[in-house]
Structure 1
Amino acid sequence: MKCIVDFLNVGFGQATVIRIIDNDRCFCLVVDAGDVNPNANPRRCSLRNYIQEHAIEKIDVLLLTHFHRDHIGGVLPIIGKVPIGQIILHVPLPEHILMSGLNDHSTPMLASLSLYKQIINQAKELDIPLNLIEQPYTIHEQGVEFNLLMPSDSRLQQLKNELDRLDLEQLDQQQERLQWIDLILNETALAVLIRYNESSVVLLTSDVALDFWELYTSQIKDVHIVQAPHHGDARHMSGPWLRNLSPKYVIVSADDEGTYQLPHPEINNLIREHTEAEIYYTEGPDTTHRIIRMDVNDWEVKLIK
């Protein structure tokens, strides 16, 4: 049995594909899907391209950590093109948004909301099961555990309340509410801890903030690979957090164009001060790879062009 974890260079965004291969059987779990069009740079690898190049016949689980566009935009080019066993999400949209004609891409937040609505409605039309989780959730597959870590109930409820109150008929008067939803989406994202043979293999941190980990500090230690939160945002990391995780490798999922002033340049020193980890960027000024790969059987990180 092989378990391969691939971090795709989707530019400014995140998309991670985990494949468990046992003889002729392949289980595929995808965490986030990158932005709408990451292929402007030939070094990048969209989820659609990855599926084609690796002859993926089915995505068993598609997990969306939150609905910012740079995490969900890559769903649209694949939905209906490749079978999807289930889509896991934890933030429902209220009926007045799902039934609306919202298709507004004038701001990043409205684009994200429009895309999320479209994905949910398309999944329903295609009879793709939507698994709305409300508490930490674990997927077991051939000895590999995928532990889905939930944000605090109170923050998640605040997000749901603001979505309920969003008046689509008066969007020009809703800018403050939209900005608040934009900010709290990161704080209410899911994280994923992958375990194999009783070892913590990979921690996918999405865009979560430091206080997210207060619920899980005692449970998560000594992780082989850690994804730097929020595209290498130094405000989302700390010395104690890094020392507790003690990673061997840190993966920074970001572009080399400084989108939103990320990744922060000081993260390299922060990581090196508190760990002995090697640092890899999905995209940097001098990188040529399209994928960062780890095979959990040999613990090696490889750069795939």
Structure 2
Amino acid sequence: MQNIFKYILGFSGNKRPIKLATLLLIISILALGIIGCTDLSELDVVGEPVEEEVDQIEGTLRVHYIDVGQGDSIYIELPNGEIALIDGGPKSSEEALLNYLDEQGVEKIDYLVATHPHEDHIGGLVGVIKNYEIGKIYMPNVVHTTKTFENLLLAIQDKGYKITKAMAEDTIIDEAGLSLYILAPEIDADWEDLNNYSIVLKLNYKNNSFLFTGDAERESEEIMLTKGYDLRAHVLKVGHHGSTTSTMDEFLDKVDPQYAIISCGVDNKYGHPHKEIVAKLQERNIKIYRTDLDGNIVVKSDGENISFNE
């Protein structure tokens, strides 16, 4: 176990921006080189700089909220041809998850996100890592002393993959008309409850947007509100399976979704989704979809229009 924790503490983080002083020094050196080697009178300046036009991505975005029982797993077919997977549900649903991915013809997962170390989110990821090629793996900077978590780290290590620490304001995808970025957790997060380390993601495709909240609870929601992030989304994956620990009124009002997805198991022992959460969604005329009632939920977007289970 000790070696595994050493492995996770060796997370590879995203490259940070160059410091201003360093940038100025580089510019100064380059400027001296130009002045020393070139007659300034020979430099040609013709007209105004022309901005290169970048064509927006075209195609269909499909977001699959997979029925993994009491847990989360979201498979995303991006319009640029890449694949993302957010969580893998519990170990008990691993076979069902792998069968679903096989049915979709998955061979490689470009972006794998383990929102936080609880078993109902990472249990099925061990099989995913063993059976598919993985591009980048994102996890929060927190460890958990469970066999499930250890097995996940071993699977990652055995395949020679590295883990990228997920931090608020980091960008995963930034293309014309398509973006995927992280809203939580903060780099200095220090929570008692692992749920609040959940990676929160926002996906934008042209004029449509999706918010994925993992099990982020009120404390994490409050931080995102304080930071002033753009939380607006057409489709909200309701936090913590519809528990009253999440989806505070202020947060929900800021997101202002048209649709809400709740991932939970049939007759689960936690009573998810809690009736208070269902009521506040209904009061706002938000259309609710639930994996315990609706099974697999597939949302399709062309960047302008959203449709379900087509």
Q: Contact conserved, 1:6 with 1:18, CA < 8 A, in 2? A: yes
Report the Cα distance in structure 1 between the residues aligned to 2:240 and 2:234, rounded to whole angstroms.
19
Call closer, same or farther: CA 1:202–1:262 in 2, change over 3 Å.
Answer: same
Match of 2:178 in 1: 144
**Structure 2: gaps of 5 or more residues:** 1-58
Call closer, same or farther: CA 1:303–1:219 in 2, change over 3 Å.
Answer: same
Partner SS, residue 91 of structure 2: coil
Partner SS, residue 182 of structure 2: strand
- The Cα offsets for residues 252-294 of structure 1, whole Å up to 9 and x where unpaired, read as 1111212322211222211122x2210110112xx3x323323
Q: CA deviation at 1:140?
A: 1.6
Q: CA deviation at 1:152?
A: 4.1
Report the Cα distance in structure 1 between the residues aligned to 2:252 and 2:187, rounded to whole angstroms.
25
Amino acid of the structure 1 residue aligned with 2:102: Q
Amino acid of the structure 1 residue aligned with 2:179: E
Amino acid of the structure 2 residue aligned with 1:13: G
Q: TM-score, normalised by structure 2?
A: 0.73
- The Cα offsets for residues 176-206 of structure 1, whole Å up to 9 and x where unpaired, read as xxxx6xxx10122111111122x46111111
Report the Cα distance in structure 2 between the residues aligned to 1:133 and 1:268, rounded to whole angstroms.
30
Partner SS, residue 223 of structure 1: coil
Call closer, same or farther: CA 1:243–1:92 in 2, change over 3 Å.
Answer: closer
Partner SS, residue 216 of structure 1: helix
Q: 1:214 aligns with which of 215, 222, 225?
A: 222
Match of 1:223 in 2: 233
Report the Cα distance in structure 1 between the residues aligned to 2:164 and 2:232, rounded to whole angstroms.
30
Q: 2:75 aligns with which of 14, 17, 28?
A: 17
Report the Cα distance in structure 2 between the residues aligned to 1:134 and 1:201, rounded to whole angstroms.
20
Q: Are positions 1:291 and 2:297 aligned together?
A: yes
Partner SS, residue 235 of structure 1: coil
Report the Cα distance in structure 2 between the residues aligned to 1:133 and 1:235, rounded to whole angstroms.
22
- The Cα offsets for residues 29-60 of structure 1, whole Å up to 9 and x where unpaired, read as 11111111227xxxxx8321121101111001
Q: 2:120 aligns with which of 70, 87, 90?
A: 70
Report the Cα distance in structure 2 between the residues aligned to 1:235 and 1:292, rounded to whole angstroms.
26
- The Cα offsets for residues 3-54 of structure 1, whole Å up to 9 and x where unpaired, read as 11111111110011111245xxx20011111111227xxxxx8321121101
Q: Contact conserved, 1:8 with 1:46, CA < 8 A, in 2? A: no
Call closer, same or farther: CA 1:211–1:255 in 2, change over 3 Å.
Answer: same
Report the Cα distance in structure 2 between the residues aligned to 1:227 and 1:202, rounded to whole angstroms.
8
Match of 2:268 in 1: 258
Q: Percent sequence identity over matched residues?
A: 24
Amino acid of the structure 2 residue aligned with 1:215: I
Q: CA deviation at 1:92?
A: 4.7
Report the Cα distance in structure 1 between the residues aligned to 2:117 and 2:242, rounded to whole angstroms.
19
Match of 2:110 in 1: 60
Q: 1:34 aligns with which of 89, 101, 112?
A: 89
Amino acid of the structure 2 residue aligned with 1:299: N
Amino acid of the structure 2 residue aligned with 1:125: D
Q: CA deviation at 1:298?
A: 5.0
Q: Contact conserved, 2:261 with 2:289, CA < 8 A, in 1? A: yes
Partner SS, residue 297 of structure 1: coil
Q: 2:290 aligns with which of 246, 270, 281?
A: 281
Instruction: Give 1:235-246 correspondences, 5 Å limit.
Output: 235-246=245-256
Superposed CA RMSD in Å reads 2.3
Amino acid of the structure 1 residue aligned with 2:252: L
Report the Cα distance in structure 2 between the residues aligned to 1:31 and 1:276, rounded to whole angstroms.
27
Report the Cα distance in structure 2 between the residues aligned to 1:229 and 1:265, rounded to whole angstroms.
14
Q: Contact conserved, 1:207 with 1:231, CA < 8 A, in 2? A: yes
Q: Are positions 1:205 and 2:213 aligned together?
A: yes
Q: TM-score, normalised by structure 1?
A: 0.74
Amino acid of the structure 2 residue aligned with 1:136: E
Q: Looking at CA atoms only, which structure, 1 or 2, has the larger radius of gyration?
A: 2
Q: Tell me the matched-pair count.
A: 249
Which has the higher mean CA deviation after the structures are superposed, 239-248 or 140-149?
140-149
Amino acid of the structure 2 residue aligned with 1:73: G
**Structure 1: gaps of 5 or more residues:** 40-44, 94-108, 159-179
Call closer, same or farther: CA 1:297–1:200 in 2, change over 3 Å.
Answer: closer
